[in-house]
Amino acid sequence: MTPTVPAGDIHSPHIKRLSKNTDGTYTFIVYRNGRYIDCSNDLEEAKAIAVRGVMRPERILAAEAIRKYVKDTPRDAAAFTKLSKIGQQTIIDVYPHLVPRKSELEGKKGVKVARVNSNRGDLMSKNEKRAVANGLPMEAKIKLVDDKNPKKEGSDAHFRWNLLFQHDGKTVGAFIGQGGNPTTLKNAVKRGNVKVEGM
């Protein structure tokens, strides 16, 4: 942590070193004005980031590319191959259900198919773990049948059902990935508000 606070900030910049990675390196988390801005495996680079006070442009673009893939083109082989290697591995580790089929990626330049089989359950969200445990078909599409929300307007449940209705034509995995509740989905299928192939 620096001994002084930069003009306009209310907190000293600081860098936190995480525990050792499996490859022997360390990850340095950079905070500026009390907020996370970026990270690096190189301490000197982390210091330079702290001085600049903003995330590196390439990291911003990479994060945007990953969000765009998850939202607009999940399981699309062509879109997956356009991601950077780090972007591809992020999808493999964090959103394994959104990775294209192995057969669709074979022969594609820049993709190591063997790595696509990763299923890091420890990196899955709580709702993704619940969905997998309940046998929800993550690749199946949601079809809206009745958009009448059965929950009290203004309640948390009403919000969850509205979120589900916004995923008409999208996959179960996309719904879960956007914070959707798997229990809400199961209940909506039982009530006949939506249909999901395989449920």
Could you tell me if 30 and 50 are in contact, meaning their C-beta atoms sit under 8 angstroms apart? yes
User: Count of domains in the chain?
Assistant: 3
Could you tell me if 13 and 25 are in contact, meaning their C-beta atoms sit under 8 angstroms apart? no
Q: Does residue 115 carry a pLDDT above 50?
A: no
pLDDT digits (tens, 9 = 90+) for 15-55: 999 988 878 889 999 999 999 999 999 999 999 999 999 99
In a domain, 4, yes or no: no
Residue 164: per-residue pLDDT: 92
Residue 133 sits in the same domain as residue 99? no
In a domain, 132, yes or no: yes
In a domain, 9, yes or no: no
The pTM assigned to this predicted structure is 0.43
67 token code pair: 């969000």
Q: Does residue 109 carry a pLDDT above 80?
A: no
In a domain, 2, yes or no: no
In a domain, 6, yes or no: no
Residue 37: per-residue pLDDT: 92
pLDDT digits (tens, 9 = 90+) for 126-162: 777 788 787 788 888 999 999 899 999 888 889 999 9
Could you tell me if 53 and 6 are in contact, meaning their C-beta atoms sit under 8 angstroms apart? yes
